[in-house]
Structure 1
């Protein structure tokens, strides 16, 4: 409690110094807050606001280690792409390729690290759903992810070696990119293992959903994270680049969540869901939050949460409908990935969830999430509406 109070006090003081015109002292104050509370989304936003006022938005890009990336600026050449079987007629982005975003574009923002296997299907899925431009941050990939991204004509890429944790789990990078390129535009925010699903998504594009939300004067669309898995052991769930995620991991738990806490966000504006298959299999120590805000219309008043678990928009700006974020974490690569992320300590609570994953997999190397009692095979979006996971507007 004492540490949280110190952070709150420091934030008030920083705002006060700003109001008094003491900008350098205010800047130091915000950085004090973030040293105490690196996950304080409001402090990050005000910190960026101040840096933009003092020296322009590019200073905030530099502070958070975000640099634009094209073939030249990344030190890559065309042969680097061909070594991955890739070809591109033009350079990628940043210094080499101007970022061009139309008012009608539906954006997708993502942070990736070593996701070369998932990226082909991830990109194809969102293109098929109506996403027209991707703004992607590569956070230190070494597996060819960067080269794959640079080969795409609709993907703009930024690189950073900055801490994922200190960037509030990537939300600060999204804030910067959307502030510069996505003002008043709809954006999907998703990890490379996440597919945004919503009622009638088989026939309705994301752009059509956005048009519907505009007519209703809504700014955000909520979802429940739904972990997907196969009927086999995780160690036997092999996946190859380009395959449909759903074809490999078609099952989910009938009980999508274990707890629902109303008005429990910092803005007291939405219900937070927790639990799901991870709590069933790995226990409750990991605090598995399932609430997501995968689709929003970005404005400078919007505060982006770490993990996109909540939104600052008021209740009357949040859609009544609800979708799902299908989460495809449990391919066989998950075993080595969990060990790496446990060591890196970049995720929530010093990677407490990864501690639970590693512990369970060590005790049961052939661990499977599938259960005849709990598991259901995904058939359609209407099925998730009928089960209460999703709901219509």
Structure 2
């Protein structure tokens, strides 16, 4: 089930609440310091309309994904994009600099030391996102949500505003091809899900975590294939990608966890809110060569030594398809399977 009826959270007391407030201040201070690592390449923020929907992302060598990414989110209603380019070498920065609704920053600083780009984006959200709906989505994350074929993100956020909700949750769904990953070649710039058209419909676990009052989701092909013996190392799939931002907010771990904690209550059935799915295009054919590079760079995991076996398995060009794989058909299918919900947004 998508919605999880969480138990009443444990009382944290004044000490617990103080620790979380202090943690949030520390994260905001990190973002303020990280702004010195950013060099502006294209500033079009003066063109941002009133009451916009903004999109934030850190990218590195994503030229093959960006045309579809921009097309998708423009169609969904994003008003302006904020990109931090982390030393791309494939033309990503030059391409983004030409886009009329993109503001672009460049850095060669460590992705890992910036909390995987979150510090950089938090600074931009502090400066530009205060008071407006802000979507944080990687280049390989495509958000779909109930009624996405007929209603825009503006319609969704208007409904959330009416309900007094300041955040929207989505489960990340790993998409993959049928056949060895490196042999299923995708057309650069095209819809990646014409190639990555399969996903796992079952096998997900849902666990309530009281510290941040959130639901942790794990499962999918990465857990099934790469982390069978160490399921606690399998990637988290729960995310809070869309937030009516406030300059006092901060993501704790990517977009999996945000402070203040009330923003994490996105999968609580008692609130009767809709949820979405982030279609994840990690497993395009380039993942095989990228895995070899990233194993050497060691920039993508806090405890990178734990994931050497994972990278080795990707480098071996695996086939993630299995007899239980399901071909993707659209948001209604995901709702039927219990991977997203309309909640009260009928």
What is the TM-score of this pair, normalised by structure 2? 0.85
> Is 1:326 aligned with 2:279?
yes
Which of the two has greater strand per residue?
Answer: 2
Match of 1:375 in 2: 325
2:341 matched residue in structure 1: 391
Q: 2:166, 2:243 within 8 Å by CA — same for their partners in 1?
A: yes
Q: Is 1:254 aligned to 2:205, yes or no?
A: no
- Cα distance between partner residues in 2 of 1:381 and 1:279: 23
CA distance in 1, matches of 2:139, 2:34: 25
Q: Which moved more, 1:309-318 or 1:288-297?
A: 309-318
Which residue in the other structure is 2:299 paired with? 346
What is the CA–CA distance in structure 2 between the aligned matches of 1:244 and 1:353, rounded to whole Å?
32
Corresponding residue of 1:56: none
- Among 209, 212, 220, the alignment partner of 1:263 is 209
Which residue, out of 327, 331, 337, partners 2:290?
A: 337
1:232·1:370 contact (CA, 8 Å) conserved in 2?
Answer: yes
Q: 1:321 is paired with a residue of what secondary structure?
A: coil
Calculate the aligned-residue CA RMSD, in Å. 2.3
Larger Rg: 1
Q: Which moved more, 1:308-317 or 1:335-344?
A: 308-317
Q: What is the alpha-carbon distance in structure 2 between the residues aligned to residue 379 and residue 313 of structure 1?
A: 36
Structure number with higher helix proportion: 1
Query: Shift in Å at residue 102 of structure 1?
Result: 2.7
Aligned pair partner of 2:190 in 232, 243, 251: 243
Cα distance change of structure 1 residues 201 and 360 upon mapping to structure 2, 3 Å threshold: same
Q: Distance in 2 between matches of 1:298 and 1:144?
A: 31
Is 1:43 the counterpart of 2:26? The answer is yes
2:90 corresponds to which residue?
A: 143
Say if 1:308 and 1:178 are closer, same or farther in 2 by CA, change over 3 A.
same
Relative contact order higher in (CA < 8 Å, ≥ 6 apart): 2
Cα distance in 2, alignment partners of residues 213 and 299 from structure 1: 16
Q: Which runs of 5+ in 1 are unaligned?
A: 1-7, 16-39, 52-58, 70-92
| Counterpart position of 2:308 | 355
Q: State how many pairs are aligned.
A: 316
- 2:216 corresponds to: 272
TM-score, structure 1 length as denominator? 0.75
Shift of 1:356: 3.1
Contact 1:256 1:389 in 2 (8 A): no
Does the residue aligned with 1:382 lie in a helix, a strand or coil?
helix
| Pairs within 5 Å for 1:166-245 | 166-245=113-192
**SS state of the match for residue 28, structure 2?**
helix
1:32 matched to which residue of 2? none
Written as runs of structure 1 = structure 2, the 5 A alignment for 1:16-95 is 42-48=25-31, 61-62=35-36, 65-69=37-41, 93-94=42-43
Matched, 1:281 2:237: no
Which whole-Å CA distance do the structure 1 matches of 2:189 and 2:209 have between them?
A: 40
Unaligned runs of 5+ in 2: 1-14, 267-272
Q: Contact 1:251–1:376 at 8 Å: present in 2 too? A: yes
State how far apart, in whole Å, the 2-side matches of 1:163 and 1:112 are.
13
Contact 1:278 1:288 in 2 (8 A): yes
- For the residue of structure 2 that corresponds to 1:167, the secondary structure is coil
CA contact (8 A) 1:217 1:317 kept: no
